[in-house]
Amino acid sequence: MIKILFWNCRGIANLDTSNILIDLMKNSFPDLLCIVEPKVKPDENKLYRKNFFSMEREVIFFDNGVSYPNIWVLWRKGLTKPVVLACSRQHITVLFENVMISCIHANCSYIRRRELWRDLAVIGASNLPWIVVGDFNVVLRAGEKKGGRGVRWRAVEEFQDFVNGSCLFEANSSGSEYTWCNGQMGNNRILCKLYRMLCNQAWSSLFPGWKYKVVAENWKQPIVGDPLFLISSKLRCLKSRLKEWNTSVFGQNKHHIQVLSARVDALQQHLDSEIDNNDIAWELTQANQLLTTAANYDEELWKQKARVNWLHSGDRNTAYFHALACIKQNKSLIYSLQTKDGRLLEEQDEIKAHIESSGQIFSSEKSKLFLGAMSNTKKQRVKAILGFDEGCLPTTYLGIPLVQGRVTRTLLRPLVEKIKRRATGWAGSLLSLQGRVVLVQSVLSSISIYSMGIYKWPASLIKEGERILHNFFWSGEPDSRKACIVAWDKVCKPFKEVGINLRRLKAINQSLMMKLSWNFLNPTDGWSEFMRAKFISKSGDFSRITKGSSIWAGVRGAIEDVRAHSGWVIGDEASINLWRDNWCSSLSLKDWINDDHIPWNDLHAKLSSIIVEGRWAIPENFSCCFKD
């Protein structure tokens, strides 16, 4: 196994940076070292004085004659010198121990990064094991950036095209989800995943992880019997071996997390008293990294226990396929529950009894306050009374991004990418047309429903989602277009109109917005009462500005559609506003009269005021309005 250490040090001449790098080398003992942005010339004697004793003095770098080389490549003593295959200001690719290694420091400009993608695509045409590691200066997916301005989607799509075209996939990672931070606090903080490691299938086959070795050896044990008995026996044997492997590799992870948490707390208290002690600060950083790794292991464990596995290999069993596609992923079983005293409950009866006896209480750790314009003193009083911390927008709640103001394309783009990833994950060439119809109806069209029931989607985003569904339906691939014999509008018609009852995303979004508008016009809960108080003036007019709301634009835009497709059934007339409800025509009396000199704010009569004993009792001064 080849060990590679990559670090964007942003200046190796700094003493602290140099010390950290030396410690990293002592702990990891890498075979290949890649340093990015050293910001000095590669002086061999200076490197040796900095105790890089385990590495050869010679340095591989690209010298453009203008500025300092921004990528250094060093290798451990005793190993064969890497052979440079390609070299530029954005990457150095070497042949090292019969494998190709590309060290990346991509340009910040997506236009100049196109040169990098072209160079790497040529290198990737080889069948040799290949790994690409470094700072790509662009995210690969929508959820890999938080804060700041939205991502440039053209740059992301070009990066995705390179990864897919070169048949690369991302290696497993541990530690922090985001690899870069701008060092700011609050709303100015930006987190991104810019550093990553990509490899091809040949590399993965040459250097399989320990987990794959255990599975392969145990699976090959000879067993005699019926085919079903063979597979069940091997699975039982495999389960016991995996348990042994889990105990030997990870151990008691819960206890390990508790020990690391206590160590982090102790180091933090020590550092508070000795702020200038770099040794303690470094120990604290290392302990935090170990704690993050252990927490990720624990999180991955529970994620695997609660996850619903989707089919990836076609619709060979249509009944099972259809049933699995209709299962809601949020109905997962609770496999274990830890009590306040540290006991771990794993029996379902115990878990159920504990939940019923404990009752439901607010979790202060999971609750946040979002406060409007008020003084800091009042904010502190509110937080002290409720016991919750203050949150800031944008944030995510139950999978829905919460923002203030206009809903942008960038905000909702991750859902379109989720539809595309889900469609790409299925082997479309193995699916029949009927199977793809089931997937589009039950899965792909349903991914966006929760978000569409809250926000009015931009037309361009709906068009992009429709294109993914269209391509997957006809070709089995979200990006592959195919000649169609029937127009998409006809395909999406209901069965009685000779269609196959697929739903258009635009129609889904509009119908859900109309549902919100109906609830707004006919208040039955606290949400509708709040919205009416905020967006209906005293004169009964709807507000034309959003007032910082992200959903009012969609609600207001669907009101006319609701009114055009709804009618009145008059009952006791006590809840119908005489002047503002359009109970007698397409216009209300207020809009039909259209006289600003009338004091509308003082008129709140109900329809029941002009009906007496089942007969109309219309005053003579405006009986002319009803002469037809």
**Lookup result for tokens 């600060």:** 281
Does the pLDDT at position 514 exceed 90?
A: yes
b/e string for 166-194 if b means 16 or more Cβ within 10 A? bebeebeeeeeebbbeeeeeeeeebbbbb
Per the model's pLDDT, the better-predicted residue between 53 and 465 turns out to be: 465
Evaluate whether 481 touches 475 at the Cβ level (below 8 Å).
yes
Listed in sequence order, the DSSP H helices in 127-252 are: 153-165, 201-206, 210-219, 227-249
Which tokens in the block code for residue 355? 């939940």
pLDDT the model gives residue 361: 62
Each residue's pLDDT tens digit, 565-575: 877 676 666 77
Residue 163, Cα to own-chain centre: how many angstroms?
19
pLDDT the model gives residue 313: 36
CB atoms closer than 10 angstroms to residue 454: 16
pLDDT the model gives residue 113: 92
Which tokens in the block code for residue 139? 């995210």
Q: Who's near 229: CB < 8 A, 6+ residues apart?
A: 223
Mean pLDDT of the chain: 77
For the chain, the C-alpha Rg in angstroms (whole number) is 32
Q: What is the DSSP code (8-state) at residue 480?
A: -
Q: Does domain 4-206 have CATH number 3.60.10.10?
A: yes
Per the model's pLDDT, the better-predicted residue between 582 and 428 turns out to be: 582
Does the pLDDT at position 319 exceed 80?
A: no
Each residue's pLDDT tens digit, 84-122: 999 998 999 999 988 999 999 999 898 999 999 999 999
Evaluate whether 491 touches 502 at the Cβ level (below 8 Å).
yes
Q: What share of the chain in percent tops pLDDT 90?
A: 7
Rounded to 5°, angle at Cα 37 from 35 and 41: 85
Evaluate whether 503 touches 511 at the Cβ level (below 8 Å).
no
Evaluate whether 239 touches 218 at the Cβ level (below 8 Å).
no
**Mean pLDDT of the region 524-546:** 84
pLDDT the model gives residue 260: 81
Residues linked to residue 181 through DSSP beta bridges, in sequence order: 191
Most confident of 249-258, 558-567, 592-601: 558-567
pLDDT the model gives residue 330: 37
Range of lowest pLDDT (487-491, 530-534, 604-608) = 604-608
The model's pTM: 0.49
Evaluate whether 86 touches 103 at the Cβ level (below 8 Å).
no
CA separation for the pair 477, 455 (Å, rounded): 28
pLDDT the model gives residue 307: 42
For the beta sheet containing 130-135, the strands, ordered from the edge strand earlier in sequence to the opposite edge, are 83-87, 91-96, 99-105, 130-135, 195-199, 169-170
Each residue's pLDDT tens digit, 179-219: 887 777 667 778 888 888 888 888 888 876 523 232 333 44
pLDDT the model gives residue 31: 87
CB atoms closer than 10 angstroms to residue 405: 13
Contacts 24+ apart (CB under 8 A), 15-20: 16/278, 18/50, 20/282
Does the pLDDT at position 337 exceed 70?
A: yes
DSSP letters along 336-383, please?
-EE-TTS-EE-SHHHHHHHHHHH-----TTT-EE---S--HHHHHHHH
Each residue's pLDDT tens digit, 141-166: 877 888 778 788 888 889 988 888 88
pLDDT the model gives residue 117: 93
Q: Who's near 619: CB < 8 A, 6+ residues apart?
A: 610
Range of lowest pLDDT (83-87, 162-166, 299-303, 484-488) = 299-303
Confidence of residue 238 (pLDDT cuts 50, 70, 90): low
Each residue's pLDDT tens digit, 441-484: 888 888 888 889 899 999 999 999 998 888 888 888 887 777 77
Q: Helix 526-535 and helix 552-564: axis angle, to 10°?
A: 100
CA separation for the pair 418, 262 (Å, rounded): 39
Each residue's pLDDT tens digit, 373-397: 788 888 888 888 888 888 877 788 8
CA separation for the pair 247, 259 (Å, rounded): 17
Evaluate whether 502 touches 492 at the Cβ level (below 8 Å).
yes
Confidence of residue 274 (pLDDT cuts 50, 70, 90): low
Kindly report whether the peptide bond that precedes residue 394 is cis, defined as omega within 30 degrees of 0: yes
Does the pLDDT at position 342 exceed 80?
A: no
CA separation for the pair 425, 421 (Å, rounded): 6
Q: Would you kindly state where each structural domain of the chain is located, as residue ranges? A: 4-206, 208-249, 257-307, 311-329+363-503, 569-628
Range of lowest pLDDT (25-39, 310-324, 464-478) = 310-324
The values of phi and psi at residue 545, to 5°, are: -115, 155
Most confident of 77-81, 441-445, 545-549, 623-627: 77-81
Q: What share of the chain in percent tops pLDDT 70?
A: 76
Write a three-state SS string for 8-71.
Answer: ECCCCCCHHHHHHHHHHHHHHCCCEEEEECCCCCCCHHHHHHCCCCCECCCCEECCCCCCCCCE
Per the model's pLDDT, the better-predicted residue between 119 and 291 turns out to be: 119
**Mean pLDDT of the region 603-624:** 73
H or E stretch at 234: helix 227-249
pLDDT the model gives residue 217: 39
**Mean pLDDT of the region 286-309:** 64
Range of lowest pLDDT (4-18, 176-190, 262-276, 325-339) = 325-339
pLDDT the model gives residue 193: 86
